[in-house]
Amino acid sequence: MIGVIGGSGIYDMNGLEGAEWREVNSPFGAPSDLILTGTLNGTPIAFLPRHGRGHAHSPSTVPYRANIDTLKRLGVTDVISVGACGSFREAMAPGDFVIVDQYIDRTIQREKSFFGAGCVAHVSVAQPTCTRLGNACASAAEAAGARVHRGGTYLAMEGPQFSTLAESRLYREKWACDVIGMTGMPEAKLAREAELCYASVAMITDYDSWHPDHGEVDVTAIIATLTANAARGKEMVRALPALLGEDRAPCPDGCDHALEYAILTAPDARDPGMLARLDAVAGRVLNRVAE
C-alpha cells in the first residue's frame, strides 16, 4: 500500500477509484486531516495532506507522529513525501524535482521519536531514505515531464520564517546542502522507526536568499511555481503503481526491518502504556517478543 504525504499545494489526489476520506485514530493525537483512500490501477493508496486541507498547520505544528502512525495503521508499506523546497544550487532550478537522500536536521520544536521512557529504541538513519522507492519516484517524475536530480542533501529548518542571508550562505557554502525545507524532519526519522520505506521528492520553488540575481524569497513567485510542480507531482504518483509492481518484496535496504535490534529496554522493564501506543509502529517486533 502506497502512502502519499502531500506538502504545500498538494491537498488532494484526483483519479483514485473508490475514493473516500477516512478518519483514522492514533494514540499520538489527531493527524493533519482525514486520509483519502482508494486505488490506482489496483494498488491501494492512502493520501494525507501534510498541512491539512486549507493549509491549517504550520511546519512546526504538523502532527508528524500521528501522521506516520495512522498511515502505518492503514497498512501503508511505502511512503512518498512530496513537498516544496528552496535550492542552494544554480543547477537545481525552480521547477526541478530532487530525490532527497540525506538530511541535516535543524528543527528544534518537534517530537522526533515514537519511543522514550518505558521503551527505548535507537534506529539507524545513516541512509534515511529508501533507494528502491527513490528510484521509482525519479523514473515516475521524469515520465511526468519533470527535470529530476537523483540525490541531494536537505536542510530541515524550523521556520516558519525563511532563512537569513547569512544562514543561506552557511548552508550552501559551508555545509554543502542542496535544498532547504521545513517539513522533511522529523518525518523521515519517524518513518524509519515505523519500518516504512520512505522517499522524499523535493519540488524546488525558489533559490532561498543566497542567489545574487533572485534576492529574498518571494511568496507570490513561489505559489506560481508550486502550482506547476503540484500538477507534475500528482502525475508522478499516478505512475508509481506500475513501476513498483503488484508484489511487495522485502526492502533491499532493510527499511522494513529497522527495529530488528533497535529496542533496548528489557521486556520486563517496558511500560505497558507505552507498548499500547506502539502497537502499530512496533507491533512486528513487540508481538514477536511477547510470543
* 55-69, 126-140, 218-232: the lowest-pLDDT one: 218-232
- Which of 69, 96, 105, 206 is catalytic? The answer is 206
pLDDT of 289 higher than 60: no
pLDDT of 78 higher than 70: yes
Closest CA to 24 of 57, 61, 62, 72: 72
- Which of 78, 96, 208, 256 is catalytic? The answer is 208
List 37's β-bridge partners, or say none. Answer: 20, 46
Closest CA to 184 of 103, 260, 126: 103
Conformational region of residue 160, where left means phi above 0, alpha means psi within -120 to 50, and beta covers everything else: alpha
Closest CA to 254 of 202, 204, 198, 209: 198
pLDDT of 146 higher than 70: yes
Burial grade of 207 (CB within 10 A; 0-12, 13-18, 19 or more) = buried
List of domains in the chain: 2-290 (3.40.50.1580)
Considering the chain, what is the average pLDDT of its residues? 93
Do 139 and 99 contact (CB within 8 A), yes or no? Answer: no
pLDDT of 291 higher than 50: no
Closest CA to 107 of 53, 8, 188, 198: 188
pLDDT of 157 higher than 80: yes
**DSSP-derived secondary structure letter, 173:** I
Q: Give the H or E element holding residue 72.
A: helix 64-74
208 part of the active site: yes
pLDDT of 281 higher than 90: yes
How do residues 204-251 score in pLDDT, each as one tens digit? 999 998 987 765 656 667 777 887 888 888 899 999 988 887 777 889
What pTM was computed for the model?
0.94
Residue where the block lists cell 482508494 = 38
Q: What is the pLDDT of residue 246?
A: 72
Q: What is the pLDDT of residue 36?
A: 96
Residues contacting residue 166 through CB under 8 Å, at least 6 positions apart = none
279 part of the active site: no
